[in-house]
Amino acid sequence: MCLKIFGGKMRILFVSDLYYPHLGGVSEHIFHLANEFEKMGHFVRILTGKMEGDFKPDERRVIRIGYGMKVKYNKSVGRITIGFDVLRIKKIMKEFDVIHSHGGISPTLPILALCFSDKTNFLTFHAGFDRCLPYAIFNPFFKYLFNKIDGKIAVSKTAEKSFGRYFKGEYRIIPNGIETKKFYPRNNKKEKTILFVGRIEKRKGVEYLISAMEYVIKEVKEATLMIAGGGYGSYKLFIPKSVEKNIQFLGFVSPDKLPELYSSANVFVSPAIGNESFGIVLLEAMASGTPVIASDIPGYRCVVENNIDGILVPPKDPVSLGKAIVNLLNDKKMQNNLIENGLKKAKRYDWSNIAKEILYFYYEVNPKLP
């Protein structure tokens, strides 16, 4: 099996409504898997929609059809692809050995792939959610598509539970990964600095972190919160005057500058309120040598072992969050313990290891693949 993987004969098509320049965990996942598969010699292409934005790091292997329209979903912003050519999609899929869709059984490209593919089909389930009304209403149709998936992958137990309540079956848990060669400790720490990285949207819980800063500043006057992410306008209007000098909105930070930013902070905080299937940002911070504080929600419990490689606090609780930040800022021994254990954990999630695990699963499902 190992000889096959490193021999490099397979043709793999990733299918997703979400991909660069749309930023997020699914785009990151596909990009790094494609990189690792190509290093092993496999041929990879990515089928997705056209969308606005300049960040297109690998356009040579991207096939764009139709237009990726923004939609609000799962307390976030997703995409559905419209205006595509079905006959072209069917023709494209015939050129590949594996059709690997990402996201879920959702509009539109993953559904089309399952409807028209006669190849070996895989689907990685990424999302975490409490309930999904369309799955409940159209369950017979979605079950038909679910049964066409030869290999079902969930990025975490949380993702498996979210989809498993509607689609019973066997899922292989294969997590997201990180680039440990890109994210690593640097000698650039800024004292008493707190960092948040992510899209500024309701489910990320930024408002609770801002509220927590009122408590933090009373105890650690020189503490500074850096918020990296677009869409912060409305939040900036409601910052209490007592802490406005201690909060910096960095706006969108390009991916190539994120490693240095992670490494510069004393504490990384992700106060998400729910609907997170995994915590890539938590692993990136750990790999950068920055201790982590995160909400105690199912998706983050998949990554953080409380008081071992990170600290978990109740969601939507600014006081508990503020106390945790203050305690960590003032406790060098705790910082060092979390950093040491976080670095060990992050290494296990390197993308090279995750890619091999997925390829092994391909051959386990279909040993006749090239």
3 — pLDDT class (breaks 50, 70, 90):
very low
pLDDT above 70 for 159: yes
Tell me the CATH number for domain 2-177+350-365.
Answer: 3.40.50.2000
**Mean pLDDT (the chain, rounded):** 92
Higher pLDDT: 256 or 6? It is 256
Q: Which of 72-81, 129-138, 252-261 has the lowest mean pLDDT?
A: 72-81
**Rounded percentage of the chain residues whose pLDDT exceeds 90:** 78
Cα–Cα distance between 370 and 97 in angstroms, integer? 8
Cα–Cα distance between 40 and 246 in angstroms, integer? 47
Q: What is the mean pLDDT of residues 30-46?
A: 96
pLDDT at 230: 80
What is the chain's percent helix, strand, coil content, to nearest 5? Answer: 40, 20, 35
Whole-model pTM: value is: 0.87
Dihedral, 90, 94, 97, 99 alpha carbons, nearest 10 = 0
**Residue that the structure tokens 């693949």 belong to:** 369
pLDDT at 71: 86
pLDDT at 75: 63
* CB 100 within 8 Å of CB 123: yes
Cα–Cα distance between 195 and 67 in angstroms, integer? 34
pLDDT at 224: 97
pLDDT above 80 for 218: yes
**Rounded percentage of the chain residues whose pLDDT exceeds 70:** 96
Query: Domain ranges in the chain?
Result: 2-177+350-365, 193-348
Structure tokens at 241: 């005057």
Query: Do 2-177+350-365 and 193-348 come out as alike in CATH topology?
Result: yes
Over residues 281-298, the pLDDT tens digits come to 999 999 999 999 999 999
pLDDT at 48: 97
From the list 145, 151, 60, the residue with the least C-alpha distance to 99 is 151
Cα–Cα distance between 66 and 368 in angstroms, integer? 33
pLDDT at 84: 87
Q: What is the mean pLDDT of residues 17-34?
A: 93
From the list 361, 348, 298, the residue with the least C-alpha distance to 127 is 298
Q: What is the mean pLDDT of residues 79-99?
A: 94
In the 8-state DSSP scheme, what is residue 79? E
Q: What is the mean pLDDT of residues 222-237?
A: 84
Higher pLDDT: 254 or 76? It is 254
Superfamily of domain covering 193-348: Glycogen Phosphorylase B; (3.40.50.2000)
275 — pLDDT class (breaks 50, 70, 90):
confident
Q: What is the mean pLDDT of residues 189-207?
A: 92
Q: Which of 59-73, 232-246, 312-326, 351-365 has the lowest mean pLDDT?
A: 232-246
pLDDT above 50 for 1: no
* CB 297 within 8 Å of CB 317: no
2 — pLDDT class (breaks 50, 70, 90):
very low
Q: Which of 92-106, 118-132, 311-325, 349-363 has the lowest mean pLDDT?
A: 118-132
